Amino acid sequence: MIQTAIAESIRKGKTALGIELGSTRIKAVLINEKHEPIASGSYAWENQLINGYWTYDLADVERGIQASFRALKEDVSKKYGVALFTVGAIGISGMMHGYLPFDSEGNQLAAFRTWRNTNTEYAAKALSERFEFNVPIRWSISHLYQAMLDHEAHVNQIHFLTTLAGYVHWRLTGERVLGIGDASGMFPIDSETNNYDRRLMNTFEELAKPYCFNWRLSDILPKVLVAGDSAGKLTEAGAGFLDPEGTLTSGIPMAPPEGDAGTGMVATNSVAARTGNVSAGTSIFAMAVLERPLSRMYAEIDMVTTPAGRPVAMAHCNNCTSDWDAWVRLLRETTQLFGATPTTAELYDKLYQKSLEGETDCAGILAYNYISGEPVTGLSEGRPMVVRRPDAKFTLANFLRANLYSTLASLRIGMEILFKEGVLLDRLTGHGGLFKTEYVGQKYMADALNIPVSVMATAGEGGPFGMAVLAGYLLWKSKGETLDEYLVQRVFSSAKITTVQPDQSGVECFNEFLKRYVSGLAAEKTAVKSI
Please report the pLDDT score of residue 236 as a whole number: 98
Q: Is the same domain home to 214 and 281?
A: no
> Is 491 inside any structural domain?
no
* pLDDT score, position 316: 86
- For residues 464-475, give the mean pLDDT: 97
Average pLDDT over residues 154-159: 98
Q: What is the CA radius of gyration of the chain?
A: 23
Which candidate, 320, 258, 317, 289, places its Cα nearest to that of 136? 317
Q: Are residues 73 and 102 in the same domain?
A: no
The set of residues, in sequence order, having a beta carbon less than 8 Å from that of 520 and lying 6+ positions away, is 366, 368, 387
pLDDT at 461: 64
Determine, yes or no, domain membership for 511: yes
**Mean local confidence (pLDDT), 215-234:** 97
In a domain, 428, yes or no: yes
> Residue 460: its pLDDT value, please?
58
What pLDDT score was predicted for residue 142?
Answer: 98
142-170 mean pLDDT: 98
Q: pLDDT at position 496, please?
A: 86
Rounded-to-integer distance, Cα 249 and Cα 6, Å: 20
How high is the pLDDT of residue 458? 64
Task: List the 37-44 sheet strands across, edge first.
Answer: 37-44, 25-32, 15-21, 89-94, 258-259
Task: Based on the fold, state whether residues 435 and 300 are members of the same structural domain.
Answer: yes
290 found inside a domain: yes
In a domain, 481, yes or no: no
Asked if 71 and 115 sit in the same domain, the reply is: no
For 337, residues 6+ apart whose C-beta sits below 8 A from its C-beta are none
Q: Are 181 and 150 within one domain?
A: yes
Residue 127, domain CATH: 3.30.420.40
**What does 194-241 look like in DSSP terms, one character per residue?**
TEE-HHHHHHHHHHHGGG--S--HHHHSPEEE-TTS---B--HHHHHH
94-107 pLDDT tens trace: 999 899 999 999 99
Task: Based on the fold, state whether residues 139 and 273 are members of the same structural domain.
Answer: no
Number of neighbouring beta carbons within 10 Å of residue 172: 27
Alpha carbon distance 383, 483 (integer Å): 41
Cα-Cα end-to-end distance for the chain: 62
- 275 plus 220 within the same structural domain: no
Threshold 0.85, pTM exceeds: no
Co-location of 447 and 361 in the same domain: yes
What pLDDT digit, counting tens, does each position of 282-327 carry? 889 899 999 988 999 998 899 999 999 999 998 989 899 999 999 9
Across residues 200-228, what is the average pLDDT?
97
3-state helix, strand, coil in the chain (%, to 5): 45, 20, 35
pLDDT at 32 over 80: yes
Please check whether residues 530 and 444 belong to one and the same domain: yes
Overall number of domains in the chain: 3
Same domain, 396 and 523: yes
**C-beta neighbour count of 371 within 10 angstroms:** 22
Same domain for 447 and 390? yes
In a domain, 38, yes or no: yes
Exposure on the CB side of residue 496, measured as CA atoms within 13 A: 5
- pLDDT confidence of 425, banded at 50, 70, 90? confident
Kindly state whether residues 321 and 234 are assigned to the same domain.
no
Please say which residue of 220, 239, 258 terminates a domain: 239
Is the CB of residue 302 less than 8 Å from the CB of residue 316? yes
Smallest CA-to-CA distance from 285 within 506, 488, 64, 97 is with 97
Cα distances from 351 to residues 344, 403, 502, in angstroms, run 11, 11, 21
Question: Which domain, by its residues, includes 40?
Answer: 1-47+56-80
Measured CA to CA, the distance from residue 314 to residue 332 in angstroms comes to: 35
Angstrom distance (rounded) from CA 232 to CA 495: 31
Q: Is residue 483 situated within a structural domain?
A: no
Q: Does residue 252 belong to any structural domain of this protein?
A: no
